[in-house]
Amino acid sequence: MLLGEFQHSVDKKGRVFMPAKLREELGEKFIATRGIGKCLFVFPMDMWNELYEKLRQLPLTDKGAQQFTRMLFASATECEPDKQGRILLPQRLREYAGIDEEATVIGVMTRVEIWSPENWSEYNNGSEDDFDDTLANLAGRGI
């Protein structure tokens, strides 16, 4: 299970440290791509392949599904940590997520998300009020 929140710097080459705790779950190679909400999604290969199989089943006539699939796959890049545990985030992905000198890396069950600290803070501030309501709703469903 991927979990936790980590703050790391981004070097001049666009590399960010992926915490060992998360690297163990992600495996030797994994996929980074555009996420939802101005962050990056990082998928272990098995989850990426599972997502691929699901998206492959969507009809070509579904305009929204095709747009999502194009954006997700066109921006995807295979990552392999170097000996220091850093991964290279291509400039186009860093620009999309607003990641410059710092990054917030979070574990979200089956994927990792990489945020700019500003976007992560803004997201948290906007979601704080909804958290209690959502938690109460989920608890009411037995989750």
For 58-75, give the DSSP string.
S-TT-HHHHHHHHHHHHT
Interval 79-101 mean pLDDT: 97
Q: Report pLDDT digits (tens) over 3-59.
A: 999 999 999 999 999 999 999 999 999 999 999 989 999 999 999 999 999 999 999
Q: Record the pTM.
A: 0.90
* pLDDT given for residue 98 in this prediction: 98
The pLDDT-based confidence of 126 (bands split at 50, 70, 90) is confident
Q: Which of 116, 104, 112, 120 is nearest to 30 (CA)?
A: 112
Give yes or no for residue 136 having a pLDDT over 90. no
Question: Rounded to an integer, what distance in angstroms lies between the CA atom of residue 57 and that of residue 9?
Answer: 39
Q: Which of 18, 43, 14, 16 is nearest to 31 (CA)?
A: 43
